[in-house]
Amino acid sequence: MENSKDILLLENKEIVALCISEIGKKKNFCNECKLEFGSTRGLRQHEGKIHSKSEKILVCSECQKMFKNKYSLKVHLKQVHEKSVKLPCDKCGKILYSKYTFKNHQRKNHPPDAKIE
Ligand SMILES: [Zn+2]
Ligand SMILES: [Zn+2]
Ligand SMILES: [Zn+2]
């Protein structure tokens, strides 16, 4: 009986030791993409470069204005582009939804020096 108790104690100690070494070996995983890093520093650098949450920039597709979050982009889209007039291109009939894209379209597709046939 006493022998088995000793063994049990020993086993417990081994388990504790194992747990401690597991903690010591704790890997640094990126929460976003599950990549593994050898050091916390490496992980931090990766997070800053790849998932820099504070500086995530959203660009308005209509006027290329930049926004820090989805909400302000939505507000901008509503306030600036929702009421925008439809501008049909007089050269090819394509409809553009803002003066910016209209100008861009003209510049790209119908440069002033292009031959009109
Ligand atoms: Zn990542
Ligand atoms: Zn815009
Ligand atoms: Zn056009």
Read off the pLDDT of residues 47-77 as tens digits, 9 standing for 90 and up.
888 777 555 688 888 888 888 888 899 988 8
CA distance 84 to 61: 14
CA of 78 to the centre of ligand 1 (A): 33
CA of 38 to the centre of ligand 1 (A): 13
From the CA of 114, the nearest ligand is 3
Read off the pLDDT of residues 107-117 as tens digits, 9 standing for 90 and up.
999 987 755 55
Q: In this predicted structure, what is the pLDDT of residue 6?
A: 63
Residue 23, Ramachandran bin (φ over 0: left; ψ between -120 and 50: alpha; else beta) = alpha
Question: Of all residues in the chain, what percent carry a pLDDT higher than 70?
Answer: 68
CA of 67 to the centre of ligand 1 (A): 22
